A and B are shown apart, each in its own frame.
Chain A
Amino acid sequence: MDLDFSSAEQAFRTEVRDWLATNVPNPPLPSGDTRDGFAAHLEWERRLFDARYAVVSWPTELGGRDASLWEWLIFEEEYWLAGAPQRVTQNGIFLLAPTIFEFGTPDQQTRILPKMASGEEAWCQGWSEPNAGSDLAGIRSRARRDDAGGGWRLTGQKTWTTRGAFCTHLFGLFRTDPDAPRHNGMTYLLVDLRQPGITVRPVERLDGDDGFAEVFFDDAFVPDDMVLGEVNKGWQVAMATTGSERGLTLRSPGRFLATAQRLIDLHRDRVTSSASDGPVDDELRDRIVQAWIDAEAYRWQTFWTVTKLLDGGQAGAESSMVKVFWSELDVRLHELALELLGPHAELVDGDFAQWIKGYQFALSGPIYAGTNEIQRNVIAERVLGLPRR
């Protein structure tokens, strides 16, 4: 076992830290889940891209640095510890991009990825439909063959589409063979939202931002070169993406280590402040320490997994345990902060607003990317080997 980062990795950490120290916006940007905030975040994404920090793990020719998994984890730790902005491009760069690297043609890769990395094109995920949430294979949106146009014509509806009102593109599953069995006959399509036949209606989320959208398709067009993977094999392609979403590419330990550190800082402020809130009781203190230990546990479980991957192993169904763990940890970290804040917890203005705001976002964690109930079924059946039925 060797638990030290190499001198090159440590130098990379220092470089990232120094750059973030002088570049992270202060005061913080407005929420990226509003129209104005989204635009401000795209400017930030452009700055990241110009400094080649937008997609460090990608190949250099596509805007990245060919960073190793270790360097990517280091970048993430530094990024979130510096209090840098949320990544409004994340559904593209962390969910779609790994799928394009795996299933995309070389032409698709060079055409789509650099614009995604620079924020010139912003991608949202078109999975859920009104009648297909956890049961993703229940989607009904259709794609019909248009031989004359050389592509597909879309009809139907997607919903709960994160930042769908602000993005230029959508990736999603559409039924291309309605007579095929449930998990077949779907195709993974890359849709330009800037065309007639697309109607987007913003939907206000729990936290009050227009972070969701409904997307209606009425004869919208997708050319053949925007089909990802094979026609009618969309399910297999999509499963690769949900694997990324549950696992470390979407929610690296850096996020939760940073939140845990902010919780520790909040506790310290609370203890040293002269406010009349009274001392923090031992039981709350105990739970704060446990949450910090859990964030560390996530870090080391990730290092364990990354070593396994570099040795040629697979992440597999274990990623469902990761998803349950980080999503519940995130809720717990925020709940503890709200407990510490006491009567200040409800304030959505002022210094503490990040916590109630963050709490509402954290509450979505156990729901999206496959609810935690679905994940527990996966853990039971595919990690423990219990019978499906």
Chain B
Amino acid sequence: MRFAFTTEQLELRDAVRDLLRRECAPEAVRAAWTNDTGRAPKAWAALAEMGALAVMAPEATGGFGLTEVDAILIAEAAGYAALPEPIVDTMLIAAPWGLVQHAQSAVVVVPESPCTAWADSADVVLTLAADGVRTVPASDCSLVAHTSVDGARRLFDVSIPAGCEPQRPVADAAVAFRRGVLGTAAQLVGLAERMLTMTVDYAKEREQFGVKIGTFQAVKHHLANARTKLEFARPLVYRAAATMAAGDRSAGLHASMAKAQAGDAARIAARAALQCHGAIGYTTEYDLHLFMKRTWALDASWGDPAWHRRFVGAQIL
């Protein structure tokens, strides 16, 4: 038993974090709310350039042939930055199957979510269904636009052309689903950490009644609770990644446990963050809302916590 990342894995994570600190600062996320695509093209191109999107792509096609364990650290860093890109769909699902190259992107349509983000600007659309996985050029799909609480997430109800047969078997649909669940859980962990960090920084600076608000026990306890939730979510995400990489038959169960736990942790972090910020956090001029809204969106995507607990319950109860 050795439940830790390798130095190389952590170095890759740090490199991605550094890149996103530069290329996906809150201004870039804010810009995605109003630009044409809802995305952050500079950050995406830089990630492709450094090879981060190809960590799980086969070595034969220029990828690194690494596993979910490496990919979730990148997904977590993407969550920390609220990167407005379909990174989970692309990096964890399409790239390992060689369906995207370089800076191409993919989105995955899952039955558990009524809409798919960024389907209009992706290169490839995958659909997961009871009879397998279909891969369709995005230009062949018909899209009906919806609006997300997260202004960067351009949502679409996606219909693929009639008569399109699955290219990959049912088992692959299960693989894709649990990878998407896992990657989303990792993003939620990153988001929770970011909101906590922002709020701790704020509570150390903001003064009321002549003292820093971070000295108040009520504020401390909100943040201690949120930090504790995060402490007991992260290991389930890492464990699910490791069992998935090892081909463990229970990996789907582990992914659901991780998603339920990470979703709860991120939602509670968002709530504590807003409450401790007070009114400034309630404005859209302040950055917190970018992270809160991404949290709400991802918490509800790829199966919300209640969905995943039902899935777990069906196996353990």
Contacts and interface: CB of A to CB of B under 8 A. Distances in A.
Interface string A352-389: 00000000000000000000010111011101111111
Nearest to B245: A1
B291 to A, nearest CB: 17
The prevalent SS among residues of A at the interface is helix
A241 B236 CA distance: 29
Contact of A297 (B4, B215, B235, B245): B235
Contacts of B231: 301, 318, 321, 325
B237 to A, nearest CB: 9
A384 B196 CA distance: 9
Interface stretch (A108-116, A157-165, A287-295): A287-295
B227 A383 contact: yes
Interface centre among B214, B215, B234, B316 (most CB of A within 10 A): B316
B138 to A, nearest CB: 35
Nearest to A68: B1
A317 to B, nearest CB: 11
Contacts of A1: 2-5, 69, 238, 241-242, 245
B16 interface: no
Given A267-B317, A289-B312, A301 B232 contact: yes
Nearest to B264: A290
A379 B223 CA distance: 9
B239 A3 contact: yes
Interface in B219-237: 219-221, 223-225, 227-228, 231-236
B192 to A, nearest CB: 13
A292 B316 contact: yes
Interface stretch (A136-144, A186-194, A304-312): A304-312
Contacts of A335: none
A304 B219 CA distance: 28
A303 B223 contact: no
B228 A379 contact: yes
B310 interface: yes
Interface in A14-52: none
A289 B317 contact: yes
B299 to A, nearest CB: 15
Contact of A386 (B4, B204, B225, B239): B204
B261 A297 contact: yes
A120 B221 CA distance: 43
Contact of B1 (A3, A377, A383): A3
Contact of B3 (A290, A296, A307): A307
A2 B317 contact: no
Nearest to A297: B232
B243 interface: yes
Interface in B249-299: 257, 260-261, 264
A380 to B, nearest CB: 3
A240 interface: no
B243 A3 contact: yes
Interface centre among A6, A292, A379 (most CB of B within 10 A): A379
Interface size class of A (residues with CB under 8 A): 35 or more
A304 B241 CA distance: 14
Contact of B317 (A264, A297, A308): A264
Contacts of B3: 1-3, 300, 303-304, 306-307
Interface in A275-330: 285-286, 288-290, 292-294, 296-298, 300-301, 303-304, 306-308, 311, 318, 321, 324-325
A386 B200 contact: yes
Contact of B220 (A292, A298, A304, A380): A380
Nearest to B228: A321
Interface string B199-226: 0100110000001101101011101110
A297 B309 contact: no
A301 B203 CA distance: 27
B144 interface: no
A303 B257 contact: no
A286 B235 contact: no
A195 B165 CA distance: 86
B246 A3 contact: yes
A103 interface: no
A269 to B, nearest CB: 12
Contact of A380 (B224, B243, B257, B312): B224
Nearest to A267: B317
Interface of A: 1-6, 9, 70, 264, 267-268, 271, 285-286, 288-290, 292-294, 296-298, 300-301, 303-304, 306-308, 311, 318, 321, 324-325, 373, 375-377, 379-381, 383-389
Interface of B: 1-5, 69, 196, 200, 203-204, 211-212, 214-215, 217, 219-221, 223-225, 227-228, 231-236, 238-239, 241-243, 245-246, 257, 260-261, 264, 306, 309-310, 312-313, 316-317
12 contacts: A1-B238, A264-B316, A264-B317, A290-B309, A293-B260, A300-B239, A303-B3, A321-B231, A324-B224, A325-B232, A376-B225, A379-B228
6 cross-chain pairs, A with B, having the tightest CB-CB distances, nearest first: A380-B220, A300-B235, A379-B224, A376-B224, A386-B214, A1-B242
